[in-house]
Amino acid sequence: MIDDNTNLDNCNCNCDNCPDSTRREMMMKIRELDFAIIELALYLDTHPEDEKALCLHKEYCKDVKALKDQYQKVYGPLTIKYPCNKWRWLEEPWPWERGNF
Amino acid sequence: MWTYNKALEYPINIKCPNPKLAKFIISQYGGPDGELAASLRYLSQRFGMPDQKAKAILNDIGTEELAHLEMVGTIVHQLTKGASIEEIEKYGLGAYYTDHGVGVYPQAAAGYPFTAAVLAVKGDPIADLQEDLAAEQKARATYEKLIDLCRDDPDVIDPLRFLREREVVHFQRFGEALRGVQDKLAQKKFCMNDMKPINKKDNDDCGCNN
Ligand SMILES: [Fe+2]
């Protein structure tokens, strides 16, 4: 669903070694996992007995948790449930702002 | 309750403002088959559902629709932010600009404001789920029309395609939930409101102590 071109398209500075490329890649991975989790959850709502889907759901939840912990430590909170020493919620762009991650 | 995630469900990065497209796309924000109506429809209907699967699917799709509302708002915002006043006038957004500036206001493409009259909560699981199946098809059809209208801007088409696909998945899941409810209603001893059995025969014991 999300191909590699999306990353390049999102780069506003048009350079290959954009300093934000790691962040962008991490965010893309988080988004992919979050999406897969939503999709699996809807499927499991009507197919709760499907072991394979349940297994995948478990795996992705674990992966996205690890990745979000790592991301938030560096780039700030993704939800208000992330504790900070100062209020970093205000520092990063909002999702609707052009060129956000 | 809900927790906000500071990320879009699918990325949107529109490079050129284009108020003409915003004027059409706003309909999926506050129009009759838009995401706000979808979310409120499902989140309100869930209270009246008789079985776990139907409650869950309405809850979870209703929640995803809120993420779609944010995506559509983002598209409208990015298409109008930075547009010149000349462009806004030229593309027919003068009336909108008068009342809302370049804010994002829930209205239909034809200009009328969001109204709860476009959604139904019948308190009847079959009627409500049938309504939802139709709602998903109408939303899919609207996205297809928008994709036609936005054919020149790949930055806009890309998230619209994603949103269209989601309607197809939601339709599928609602169909499965409806079949589950129908099966349940077909069982004689099932009680609809924890009070009255749906299809009580005279000397049936429905097991609900009423
Ligand atoms: Fe939907």
The pTM of this model reads: 0.88
**Gyration radius (Cα) of chain B, Å:** 20
A98 Cα to chain B: minimum distance (Å): 6
According to the model, what pLDDT value does residue B185 have? Answer: 87
Kindly list the distances between the CA atom of residue B82 and the CA atoms of B25, B26, B28, B87, in Å, as whole numbers in the listed order: 17, 17, 22, 10
Query: Does residue B4 fall inside a structural domain?
Result: no
Q: Do B111 and B30 touch, CB atoms closer than 8 A?
A: no
CA gap B104, B139 in Å, rounded: 19
User: Is B173 an 8 Å CB contact of chain A?
Assistant: yes
Rounded to 5 degrees, φ, ψ at B113 are: -70, 160
Query: Does residue B59 fall inside a structural domain?
Result: yes
Residue A8 has pLDDT above 50, yes or no: no
For chain B, the average pLDDT equals 92
Query: Does residue B35 fall inside a structural domain?
Result: yes
Q: What is the pLDDT of residues A50-67, one digit of tens each?
A: 999 999 999 999 999 999
Chain A residues whose CB is inside 8 A of the B177 CB are 45-46
Q: What is the pLDDT of residues B7-41, one digit of tens each?
A: 999 999 999 999 999 999 999 999 999 999 999 99
Q: What is the pLDDT of residues B141-160, one digit of tens each?
A: 999 999 999 999 999 999 99
* pLDDT band at residue B207 using 50, 70 and 90 as cut-offs: low
CA gap B31, B115 in Å, rounded: 8
Domain boundaries, chain A: 16-98
Which A residues in the span 23-82 are in contact with B, Cβ-Cβ below 8 Å?
27-28, 30-31, 34-35, 38-39, 41-43, 45-48, 77-81
Kindly list the distances between the CA atom of residue A27 and the CA atoms of A30, B8, B13, in Å, as whole numbers in the listed order: 5, 10, 14
Query: What token pair was written down for A73?
Result: 């430590």
Rounded to 5 degrees, φ, ψ at B63 are: -70, -45
Query: Does residue B14 fall inside a structural domain?
Result: no
- Domain extent at residue B86: 19-205
Q: What is the pLDDT of residues B102-128, one digit of tens each?
A: 999 999 999 999 999 999 999 999 999
Query: Does residue B114 fall inside a structural domain?
Result: yes
Query: Does residue B200 fall inside a structural domain?
Result: yes
What's the domain count of chain B?
A: 1
